[in-house]
Amino acid sequence: MSGRKITCLDCGQVNRMAQDKPASTAKCGTCGAKLMDGKVHEVDLATLQKAARNDDVPLVVDFWAPWCGPCKMMAPEFSKAAASHAGRVRFVKLNTEAEPAAGQRYNIRGIPTMAAFRGGSEKARQSGAMPAAQISAWVTQSI
């Protein structure tokens, strides 16, 4: 079976997304969730690790915490950037307060911090809040 591997952000199942079909129509074979909906999804550490390791589609992660003012300011900008990359890149958020092991695992020293993953490894990292246009430019350059 050919296609791009992509992890469902709802149930964690690895799926194959057909190359010849629009990414916007791809759904998880297990739970039926859309795989490339252009929205930001909150994930836990296990789902992040699985997606970063297995997915053929680029993944951008925002490491954040609810008490962080710049994180709150950047959240709507991150969502705008996600919408502008719909069908090409997936955007997720990981709460480092709820998942302290993630901060250690990915060596997060300050938040917000974004990391871009592709092909099983981290390709780029950027700390600090940014507007949507700057996030989009960074994503395009990084992946």
Give CA torsion, residues 120, 81, 113, 16, to 10 deg: -20
**Residue 114 · residue 63 · CB < 8 Å:** yes
Q: What is the pTM of this model?
A: 0.94
Q: What is the pLDDT of residues 98-135, one digit of tens each?
A: 999 999 999 999 999 999 999 899 999 999 999 999 99
All residues at 6 or more sequence positions from 103 whose CB lies less than 8 Å from its CB, including other chains: 63, 96
Domains along the chain? 38-142 (3.40.30.10)
Q: What is the pLDDT of residues 58-70, one digit of tens each?
A: 999 999 999 999 9
Q: What is the pLDDT of residues 6-36, one digit of tens each?
A: 999 999 999 998 888 777 788 999 999 999 9
Widest CA span in the chain:
46
Please list the active-site residues.
Answer: 68, 71
